[in-house]
Structure 1
Amino acid sequence: MSVQETLRTSAAPAAGPARRPGLILAFLCLAGFMTFLDVSIVNVALPTIEDELHISQTTLEYVVTTYGMVLGGFLLLSGRLADTFGRRRMLQTGLVLFALSSLVAGIGQNAWMLIASRGAQGLGAAFIATSALSLLTVNFEEGAERNKALGAWGALSGLAAVVGVTLGGILTDGPGWRWVFFINVPIGLIGALLAPKVIAESKSAERTRSFDLAGAVSLTAALILLIFTLGQTVSDGDLPYGRIYGGFALVALLLIAFVVIERRAANPLIPFSIFRRKSLRAANVIAILLLGTCVTLFFFASLFLQQVLDYSAMRTGFAYVPLALLTAVGAGVASQVVTKVAAKPVLMVGLALATAGMLMLWRAPVDASYLTDILPAFALMGLGLGASFVPVQVSAFAGSEEKESGLAAGLINTAQEVGGALGLAVAATWAFRRVAELTEKAHGVPELVNQARTDVFHDAFLVGGVFAAVAFLVTAVLLPFTKATGEPPVPRG
């Protein structure tokens, strides 16, 4: 029996529901869709939340970044837990936690209650995202079958980000912003109950009694502290330089400690040998930059439409509909093309379109017309994002074995979520650096205030465009040409 046959046999569940690929894929994609949806669904509701809960604009950032901060910080740990204790079990745990924390967020009465519950949502989402993606790679053979499944996952994860802003606008102007969170409660609880009927349990073929808890704690703490410290660089008053410099110093110490722990651990959280795969290395770097572009777009475009162009929340939501539709089109085309050609050229086209779209928003005037200024930029962004999410996912898993599917899923999801939170923190730091100066120059004159806000948002869009352009260069230089194949890779000794 070959090594791969042994791995598949030892990893197979003893009992479970009959394998129905279509149903399994739909269920897992729906679970992933829900977690990605909550990255962006609050964006359109932010001005309303700001007014009702009396949150300052600089604190408002944490409503978005706390979710991504905790989600990104716990993804690797949750991936290893899923491999060790059962992927379906961790998926169910995440769905229940996500539902309950969404309920608390919906009834939140102040900024910190909302932010804390968003953190709990992020923890639940970490269990969901890695477990669902790991189960997907285990249930579909590498090659055309897995590439199509990953294409569907990538398409829906990308689509969720833009559907989120549309749905957020409808709910905010409809039953109210709290329903942005309440909508998750029945979906999460029903999903947890249905999971055993849809998908069999799965664990890693390599079971160990030891677990790298020290590595998990040090890396998770470093990621969370890094994103929090970046958030501290945006302040309504004097910058807390001591807290900022101290935070970065502690991040560096935690990362050094993590590397030392991993090199000495018998069963490390991240076996550094996995980074020998060029496609995985490049895909994770690209994912960081791509999600930095994506989250920057939704956060600042939502504010631009409402605070500069005076759109309502619902109108803002509907303004994203073409972007959502074209994201689906771009992802659909990419998921078909990527099974026939290498992921690299598909990704380069997508990133080029996304860069162009962000640069168009960078030049949008203070009295921008939706048809001539916003819609063309959204069209390019939709096609570009849709065409980018799919090949990034495919590249991240190219050549991976079943035993490391949880780790690979944790890495790519960590890159995406940390990228989104880091990207927004960097864009906000750069964009808000001139708020005090521009506000003073405006002297309260409405036209000058609007121009000042536009200048701030222009700076943010430019940062998002730079992220996409750098991702294009990384793809061109570092991502290898990997074509779909129906045969699993032969393990190298």
Structure 2
Amino acid sequence: MLTSETTTPLHQPEPEDRSRWVALVVLCTGMLMIVLDATVVNVALPTIQDDLGFSQSSLAWVVNAYMIAFGGLLLLTGRLGDLLSRRGMVLAGLAVFSGASALCGLSQSDAMLVVARFVQGVGGAMASAVILGMIVTMFPEPREQAKAIGVFAFVASAGGAVGLLAGGVLTQAISWHWIFFINLPIGLATAVLALRLIPADRGPGIDRSTDFLGAVLVTGALMVLVYTIVSPAAQDGWGASSTLLFGAGGLVLLGLFVAREATAATPLVPLSIFRSRAVTGANLVQGLAVVGMFSTFFLGALYLERVLHYDALEIGLAFLPTTLLMGALSLRWSEVLVMRFGARRTLIPGLGLVAVALLLFARSPVDGSYWVDVLPVMALMGTGAGLAFPALMNLAMSGVEPSEAGLASGLVNTSAQVGGALGLAVLATLSTGETDRLTAAGEALPQALNGGYHLAYLVGAGVLALALVVAVVVLERDPAPEPVAGRAAGPVRTDLVCEPA
């Protein structure tokens, strides 16, 4: 792919020390642009609906089209980055994402916007799937790697809150079109700097033995499963025939993919990667933990809008403490805590704080005060996420061979996207059902809405408790902290591999 440049193997980090950190900022800027796009649209949906004439049922496809393409292609694009070129995959993804963003901003019909959002999701998957793998290979030394992953984790987990604020500001100050147009200068600048700062790389390439059948099966399975979650399940219910049909189809494709990978000579996703308890446990915890985060970002935003009557900008500002605390912990303290106590010991209290935040939100009244009922939740959520997600990223990438870093990166992103989509669909359905029940029982609409949100928060807290159990049971214990005063803690273990039974 990159024949005119001097290439280096994927596993050799070449940039000078300062250039590596600048390159990290460049990669994370591109990641932030992609991650916040998943939520920046939410606060603008009412305006988009009025402007382009969306029906209430079709409006969800502005979000769903992006999520189906993004979640469905992460594993495939992560592995293709390993086989071809990670830098090339990022650059191609930025080009597709930026071009699709322009089409989104120029959309004059509902169909044009939905199609452009799907293409935008394709570009987002291409660019983001391999970024974490690139960071791991650029920073092989444990302490530097923990710090770099902390930066990435902040961007990946706080992007949703940043998107709510950015969407509110742009929609109210200019127009909804600019939530997409703003991606063009950011994408162009990121691509130019990536070309200059990130060395060209080349993987082993695609040949006749490449697992094309596995690629088709896993992409089809993930797209069908995400579609099932965001469309028939959310609209018709989990017991509807359409939900069961598409869900069964997705599971059959997934089963065929696993069978194919177990027998393929050069599998797209080597199943041996799941022998690592760190990788398997971290992905399970990631998929469960984002359920709680999504319930806060999405249903919490609805509580602020529909019960407390905040406008778009006020909603974004309400989430600002979460973003600031996540940033302070992820950027400044995550590396210190992970190196001192270990990733598992840092993860567990973080998950506990997120669960407590959801329990607090489940007592928020219809006449709630921001300072009493919302701010403490945002503070606990930001602190818990700032502790948990950098530790999760460290665990998910530990024990992974450099040649599989892109795959592991795509895997942890897929866990977040599919877990978030599933969690949001389940919690939104439960919330709507409880609201309908309370309304039928004679409750006023604000009380009925709030009752539905409370149920969703309680279920989210229960899912976080399950994530805590998985973290305790599946993840291996960290090495004992260094007892000698004044002496640096030992490096994070990267050999947490469970031997085959």
Do both proteins adopt the same fold according to a TM-score greater than 0.5, normalized to the shorter chain?
A: yes
**How much has 1:204 moved relative to structure 2?**
3.5
Alpha-carbon separation, structure 2, partners of 1:65 and 1:340: 41
Q: Distance in 1 between matches of 2:419 and 2:357?
A: 19
Distance in 1 separating the partners of 2:200 and 2:294: 33
Aligned-pair CA distance for 1:305: 0.8
* Structure 1 ranges of 4+ moved more than 6 A: 237-240, 490-493
Equivalent position of 1:399 in the other structure: 399
- The answer as to whether partners of 1:234 and 1:433 remain within 8 angstroms in 2 is no
Distance 1:119 1:240 in 2: 27
Letter in 1 for 2:406: G
How far the C-alpha of 1:186 sits from its partner, in A, is 1.5
How much does 1:73 deviate?
1.2
Q: Distance in 2 between matches of 1:155 and 1:247?
A: 34
Range that drifts further, 425-434 or 262-271: 425-434
Alignment gaps of 5+ in structure 1? 1-7
Question: How far, CA to CA, are the matches of 1:409 and 1:97 in structure 2?
Answer: 20
Q: Determine if contact 1:69/1:421 at 8 Å carries over to the other structure.
A: no
Corresponding residue number in structure 2 for 1:320: 319
How far did 1:277 drift?
0.6
Q: Which residue of 1 aligns with 2:34?
A: 35
Residue aligning to 1:220: 219
Question: 1:95 Cα deviation (Å)?
Answer: 0.3
Match of 1:448 in 2: 444
- Whether 1:478 and 2:477 are equivalent positions in the alignment is no
CA root-mean-square deviation:
2.7
Per-residue displacement from partner, 1:184-214 (whole Å, max 9, x unpaired)?
1111123223322110122336875532121
Could you tell me which residue of structure 2 aligns to residue 119 of structure 1? 118
CA distance in 2, matches of 1:386, 1:17: 28
Give the 3 Å change call, closer, same or farther, for CA 137–450 of structure 1 in structure 2: same
Residue-by-residue CA offset, 1:220-254 (whole Å, 9 max, x unaligned):
1111211211231233x798923212112211211
**What residue ranges of structure 2 are gaps of 5+ in the alignment?**
1-6, 480-489
Cα gap change, 1:463/1:203 in structure 2, threshold over 3 Å: closer, same or farther? farther
> d(CA) in 1 for partners of 2:77 and 2:372?
45
Contact 1:142 1:487 in 2 (8 A): no
Decide whether aligned partners of structure 1 residues 176 and 441 sit closer, same or farther in structure 2, where only a CA change above 3 A counts.
farther
**SS of residue matched to 2:42:** coil
Q: Equivalent residue for 2:3?
A: none
Q: How many residues align?
A: 480
TM-score, structure 1 as length reference: 0.90
Distance verdict in 2 for CA 1:476–1:74, change over 3 Å? same
2:144 matches 1:148: no
Structure 2 distance, partners of 1:114, 1:475, is 40
Partner of 1:343: 343
**Cα 1:306/1:52, change in 2 over 3 Å:** farther
Are the counterparts in 2 of residues 348 and 475 from structure 1 also a CA contact under 8 Å?
A: yes
* 1:415 maps to amino acid: S
Match of 1:281 in 2: 280
What does residue range 97-112 of structure 1 map to in structure 2 within 5 Å?
97-112=96-111
Contact between 1:204 and 1:402, CA under 8 Å: does it hold in 2? no
TM-score after normalising by structure 2: 0.89
| Contact 1:343 1:482 survives alignment (8 Å) | yes
Structure 2 vs 1, CA of residues 420 and 101 (structure 1 numbering), >3 Å: closer, same or farther? same
Give how far 1:377 is off: 0.8
Greater mean alpha carbon deviation, residues 481-490 or residues 256-265: 481-490
Distance 2:402 2:44 in 1: 40
SS at match of 2:209: coil
Distance 1:424 1:46 in 2: 17
C-alpha change, 1:239 and 1:388, in structure 2 (3 Å) is: closer
Contact 1:55 1:111 in 2 (8 A): yes
Partner of 1:345: helix, strand, or coil? Answer: helix
